[in-house]
Amino acid sequence: MELRAGGYRAVVVQSGGGLRELSHEDEPALDGYPEDELCDGARGQLLVPWPNRVADGRYRFDGENRQLDLTEPERGCAIHGLARWESWEVISHEDDRLRLAHRLHGHPGYPHVLDLSIEYQLDPKHGIEMRFTAVNVGSGPAPYGLGMHPYLTAGTHSIDTCELLLQADSWLPTDDRGIPSGPARPVNETELDFRVARQIGKTAIDFAFTDLNRDEEGLARVVLSDHSSARQRVLWVDSSFPWIEIFTGDHLPSRQRQGLGVEPMTCPPNAMASGQDLVVLEPGEQHTARWGIHV
């Protein structure tokens, strides 16, 4: 489904409700994927009811031990939630606006029912804004987290020559499975300090960042720049997102380091087990989050 406004063009898919393409004046802002190919590397997908990984697919909630399907068997993890391959219903579609919805029924290890909706809005000046709402329509409390997985591109063949501005004071160390191995640490005097824009170079990154610096409206931003072409891509998040995963794509099966994964998350990896920043939705309660991308 296509959206247009001014020089912006976006393509949203019903499979998972994700963002497949975003461009401005025919120049890509996202490293997406072709219409006739399966989404790889979670490109543009919505990650709900948890982003990132759950170690061994195991967690405990409301006095009950639970086991999720291991959707990343090579690492022994349940990854990126339950809705990214489901079919989403088109509620409304205009030239510059689209609203999709999906009822997430209970799954093994997640016996809850959520009504999910996302609205995509294109604006000639401000790019694309996304507003996501989850409502617990079940009979008991439900653990909940949200993320999205776009890959920003400044139009170069590699992100190595791009500059990254990420005003985050802390990063979360992880083990070789991508599971947190300790509390968040300061980025000071590490290769992960991008609070002043600098070239990514060969730095390999697959970590969540937190303690985000925000403006007076509570928005935090990540900026990817290519000075050779004067292109700049900006992803912003509201206060619902205390975490942003940065992924340079080094271990993708193809197109390594061609786009920078910039993944807003309401909670860190393994939050279903740790409980850190995990939202608990009571019956009838809703959670809304906003984020966007512009040139």
For position 112, what pLDDT does the model report? Answer: 98
How far apart are the C-alpha atoms of 52 and 260, rounded to whole Å? Answer: 16
Q: pLDDT tens digits for 255-276? A: 899 999 999 999 999 999 999 9
Q: pLDDT tens digits for 126-159? A: 999 999 999 999 999 999 999 999 999 987 779 9
**Nearest 10 degrees: CA dihedral of 204, 215, 128, 116?**
90
What is the assigned CATH class of domain 2-294?
A: mainly beta
Q: What is the 3-state secondary structure (H, E, C) of 133-163?
A: EEEECCCCCEEECCEECCEECCCCCCHHHCE
pLDDT tens for the 295 residues of the chain, in order: 999 999 999 999 999 999 999 999 999 999 999 999 999 999 999 999 999 999 999 999 999 999 999 999 999 999 999 999 999 999 999 999 999 999 999 999 999 999 999 999 999 999 999 999 999 999 999 999 999 999 999 877 799 999 999 999 999 999 999 999 999 999 999 999 999 999 999 999 999 999 999 999 999 999 999 977 778 999 999 999 999 999 999 999 888 999 999 999 999 999 999 999 999 999 999 999 999 999 9
**In the chain, where the domains are located:** 2-294
Which residues, in sequence order, are CB contacts of 272 under 8 Å at separation 6+? Answer: 50, 54, 59, 61, 68, 143, 145, 278
Peptide bond preceding 49: is omega within 30 degrees of 0, i.e. cis? yes
Written as one letter, the residue type at 232 is Q
How far apart are the C-alpha atoms of 169 and 220, rounded to whole Å? Answer: 12
Q: CA gyration radius for the chain?
A: 18
